[in-house]
Amino acid sequence: MTGKTTSAEAALELVCSKQPDALIAPLELADSEMEALELLGRARERRPGLRLVVFATRDDGFHLSAAASVRAEAYLPKTVTAAKLVETVKACLSGEPTPAINDHVARPALTQRELEIVSLAAHGYTNAQIAQRLWVTRWTVKYHLANSYKKLGVTNRTQAASRLFERRLSGRAPCSAS
């Protein structure tokens, strides 16, 4: 084991400093400024060969879609047995097939960026704040939000936030960004 932490920021630091072969992380992060999808995406950017094993509290299509959006090699519900976890991580590290993700993705299949932006919007960030945080333009944020709304079958950010929280993709209740 290279390291362990409960902080998204510290996990990203470990990925950068220790250069591990794999990252095992949950889709839900509590008490972190950084969202899980943001962590997984940034970790993948900083270490392109990084293998991702993703856990979710609920085993449903929406969480599976989130795992697929970050190109995770394996997706497991948190109720998985220790033996299955070890088997999956070993298979992941050796390049063997792991529990399928892309074959079973349920709609809506939001992209990583769409999930990231909708999640930030759900937490009260404005389009300008999201754009600044993700180093994109406000128009890019609007574009991704519009695509997300279509995929989620909603018409505004409040409905999109409700859809996310219904599916427990986010660990915190909506709040106003400072």
Domain ranges of the chain: 8-104, 112-166
pLDDT digits (tens, 9 = 90+) for 112-138: 888 889 989 988 999 999 999 999 999
- Please tell me the distance from the alpha carbon of residue 88 to that of residue 67, in angstroms, as a whole number: 15
**What is the structure's pLDDT at 70?**
79
**What is the structure's pLDDT at 144?**
93
Q: Which CATH architecture has domain 8-104?
A: 3-Layer(aba) Sandwich (3.40)
**What is the structure's pLDDT at 44?**
87
- Please tell me the distance from the alpha carbon of residue 140 to that of residue 22, in angstroms, as a whole number: 31
- Please tell me the distance from the alpha carbon of residue 44 to that of residue 58, in angstroms, as a whole number: 23
**What is the structure's pLDDT at 5?**
87
**What is the structure's pLDDT at 126?**
96
The DSSP symbol for 108 reads P
Intervals of the chain under pLDDT 50? 102-107, 170-178
**What is the structure's pLDDT at 130?**
96
Q: Please state whether the predicted TM-score (pTM) of the whole model is above 0.75.
A: no
The DSSP symbol for 151 reads H
Which of 3.40.225.10, 2.40.170.20, 1.10.10.10, 3.40.1160.10 would CATH assign to domain 112-166?
A: 1.10.10.10
User: Is 112-166 in the same CATH topology as 8-104?
Assistant: no
Residue 109 tokens read as 């299949």
